[in-house]
Amino acid sequence: MNKVILFNKPFGVLSQFTDKGSADSPRPTLSAFIDAPGFYPAGRLDRDSEGLLVLTDNGALQARIANPRQKMPKTYLVQVEGRPDADALEALRRGVTLKDGPTRPADVRQIDAPDDLWPRDPPVRFRKSVPDAWLEIVLREGRNRQVRRMTAHVGLPTLRLIRTAIGPWRLNQLRPGAWRFAAESGP
- Identify the CATH number of the domain in which residue 10 sits: 3.30.70.580
Task: Select which of 46, 57, 85, 112 is catalytic.
Answer: 46
Q: How far is it, in rounded angstroms, from Cα 12 to Cα 101?
A: 28
Looking at the fold, whether 99 and 111 belong to one and the same domain comes out as yes
CA distances from 109 to 78, 83, 93, 102 (A): 10, 12, 9, 20
Query: Which range of residues forms the domain containing residue 34?
Result: 1-70+167-187
Q: Give me the pLDDT at residue 85, please.
A: 97
- Identify the CATH number of the domain in which residue 85 sits: 3.30.70.1560
Element (H, E) at 179: strand 179-182
Looking at the fold, whether 56 and 79 belong to one and the same domain comes out as no
Looking at the fold, whether 24 and 108 belong to one and the same domain comes out as no
Looking at the fold, whether 66 and 120 belong to one and the same domain comes out as no
Looking at the fold, whether 172 and 132 belong to one and the same domain comes out as no
Q: Which DSSP string corresponds to 92-108?
A: HHH--EETTEEPPP-EE
Domain tally, the chain: 2
Looking at the fold, whether 4 and 63 belong to one and the same domain comes out as yes
Beta strand spans in 12-166 (E): 40-41, 50-56, 74-81, 97-98, 101-102, 107-111, 132-139, 158-166
Q: Examine the residue annotation and report whether 46 is marked as an active-site residue of this protein.
A: yes
pTM of the predicted model, to two decimals?
A: 0.93
Looking at the fold, whether 125 and 187 belong to one and the same domain comes out as no
Whether pLDDT at 162 is above 90: yes
How many C-beta neighbours within 10 Å does residue 85 have?
12
The per-residue pLDDT for range 73-130, each reduced to its tens digit, is 999 999 999 999 999 999 999 999 999 999 999 999 999 999 989 999 888 887 777 8
Mean pLDDT of 20-48: 87
